[in-house]
Amino acid sequence: MPNHIYDKDNLIRRLEAYLGKTFEEIDNKGMFKHVQDFNLQKGIAGSIVEQCIFEYPPDTKQEADLIIVDGTENVKTELKTTGMLIQEKPRRHYVAKEPMSITAVGVYDIAEQEFETSHFWQKLEHMLIIYYYYAANHAVSAYEYKDFPVVGYEFHEFSAEDVEVLKNDWEHVRALCAKVVSHHSGPRDKSWKAAVKQEYIDVHGELRRVLSYIDLAPKFPPRFRLKKPTLSSIIAKHFGYDLEQLPGRYVSISDIDSKCRELTKLYAGENIRQLINRFNLELQTDGQLSMKGVAEKIVIAMFGGTAKKLNQIDLFERFGLIAKTIAFTSKGGRTEDMKLYHIDFSEMIRENVIDDDGTERAMTFEDSDMYAYFADHALLCIMFQEAPENPETKYRPNSLSSNVFLGFKRIVFSDEFIDTKVRKLWEDTRDKIMNHKLTDVIQKRSDGTTVILKNGEVSTAPNFLKGSENDVFVRGSGKDSSMHNKTECVNGIRMLPQYVWIKGLSVVEELKQTPEI
């Protein structure tokens, strides 16, 4: 493939010339003027990069895209184009817009492969990643990509530790596929493939608990993907957004579980005040402590870190772990409802998506950010319990510093939970917005009287699914529901910023069903 061979120094000069340019400025083939006439096998962004920057036609081979001549070496390199969004907190930085598709899984024959020679590793061993900024806060058509700029590129190679993580992940997938195939004897005809496919669909969800850096696209045939958190970690390093590196070696999610077991053995039973003193943490007085804030600092210290926030820790970002503080009542009962993430309503009502082969089709639940959040992340729950009542004095300490550390659990949401509770919220929210069923409801007290705010305004909220209707629900977040706090507008209705939440009782039930770490 002579047109796919590039001298590295010349290629760097070529790429440097395109930095800061929009896809429209890069387009030297009139692709945006005739976007429907082109074979966009990798979407418009990937096609512009391939055909206009690298000047070669699209292909669907499983081999690496490029050969890059670096001195005396000819390096087979996979070309990837990935979009980024800007996240404002804790400080402004790029994050991955979506997972990075790698290659097809090959359910029927992956058992016959070895990692080092697999299509999967051939695609990942050497990558040239072209980064562009998705400069829109809503879903756009292929034509509207013309305004998005190319902002960076990277010749990426994984560290030895990361390779071990990827190999572990791949072997988990191979083992599951091999087990499924072994259950079906006979000739490998159409009916055999149908039986293997059905069993794979039935059982593949169990992989989510053991996969670290990758997931499988939720359709058949499945594709390997780098998870959004893993890709965001790569992006952070490239663009200089430094996440803290914790001491220790973690090459699988089970290594984190082992560390959590070690920490539980060391510190379970100690209260917050004792832990603050043990780790020499400088925190505010009891009256100003927040459970989330103090627990974050304690857990970071337990893991040997110094960052102020858990989302500034590389380990949690790479493995897609979202740390959440759980405070049980003294009897182990209901905890508070848990806020998860802010809803992007433009993404929520997206109607079409473009697959890796360039095919445009209708949006499904499995394509959504909501599905990805629950499927790609695990909740690392740091558990505390309120101090019990003194049986003699009937006095229960109400100081936050008396809460006792219990340990950790890692919630991985089941297929059933995602396909029922989460899907219900996604479908209900889309239906209300897209079919104009969204209304602004006057808030009432239990006695039927209208809630009036301190400034005299009537309290209102949109009729999104509530916690009384579903375990996963939507709720606004703000100081109060006065008009100046309603900074979002959907279908002409002003509202507080809206977040996805899980009911406290549901969290408790998930924790009961989750094995101890």
Distances (CA, A) of 55 to 32, 113, 352: 16, 33, 28
Helix, strand, or coil (residue 368): coil
Q: Which of 93-97, 238-242, 386-390, 434-438 has the lowest mean pLDDT?
A: 386-390
% the chain with pLDDT above 70: 91
Residue 244 within a domain: no
The answer on pLDDT for 513 being more than 90 is no
Give residue 184's pLDDT band: very low, low, confident or very high (50, 70, 90): very high
Tens of pLDDT along 197-251?
999 998 888 888 889 999 998 788 899 999 998 999 999 999 987 777 778 778 7
DSSP structure string for 460-517: EEE-PPPTTT-SEEEEE-SS-S-GGG--EEETTEEEPPEEEEE-HHHHHHHHHHSPP-
Task: Tell me, yes or no, whether 222 and 267 share the same domain.
Answer: no
Task: Tell me, yes or no, whether 100 and 233 share the same domain.
Answer: yes
pLDDT value for 425: 98
The pTM score is 0.80
21 or 402: which leads in pLDDT: 21
Range of the domain at 314: 253-343+363-412
Give residue 129's pLDDT band: very low, low, confident or very high (50, 70, 90): very high
Tens of pLDDT along 373-417?
998 888 888 888 887 766 655 445 556 778 899 999 988 888 889
Q: How far apart are the first and last CA of the chain?
A: 51
The answer on pLDDT for 38 being more than 70 is no
Q: Which range is most confident: 306-315, 393-402, 463-472?
A: 463-472
Task: Tell me, yes or no, whether 57 and 122 share the same domain.
Answer: yes
Boundary of a domain, candidates 390, 412, 434: 412
The answer on pLDDT for 142 being more than 90 is no
Burial class (CB in 10 A: 0-12, 13-18, 19+), 368: buried
* Number of domains observed in the structure of the chain: 3
Task: Tell me, yes or no, whether 379 and 296 share the same domain.
Answer: yes
Give residue 361's pLDDT band: very low, low, confident or very high (50, 70, 90): confident
CATH number for the domain that contains residue 292? 3.40.600.10
Please check whether residue 279 is in contact with residue 298, taking contact to mean a CB–CB distance below 8 angstroms: yes
Residue 358 within a domain: no
Residue 514 within a domain: no
Residue 356 within a domain: no
Task: Tell me, yes or no, whether 333 and 294 share the same domain.
Answer: yes
The residues near 152 (Cβ < 8 Å, ≥ 6 apart) are 19, 130, 131, 238, 239
Task: Tell me, yes or no, whether 76 and 216 share the same domain.
Answer: yes
Boundary of a domain, candidates 207, 237, 267: 237
139 or 196: which leads in pLDDT: 196
Give residue 37's pLDDT band: very low, low, confident or very high (50, 70, 90): low
pLDDT value for 394: 47
Residue 172 within a domain: yes
Task: Tell me, yes or no, whether 184 and 292 share the same domain.
Answer: no
Task: Tell me, yes or no, whether 231 and 375 share the same domain.
Answer: no
Alpha helices in 85-132 (DSSP H): 119-124
Task: Tell me, yes or no, whether 154 and 8 share the same domain.
Answer: yes
Residue 516 within a domain: no
The answer on pLDDT for 45 being more than 70 is yes
Residue 169 within a domain: yes
Residue 171 within a domain: yes
Average pLDDT score, the chain? 86
pLDDT value for 41: 47
Task: Tell me, yes or no, whether 471 and 403 share the same domain.
Answer: no
The answer on pLDDT for 438 being more than 80 is yes
Task: Tell me, yes or no, whether 119 and 266 share the same domain.
Answer: no
Task: Tell me, yes or no, whether 231 and 261 share the same domain.
Answer: no
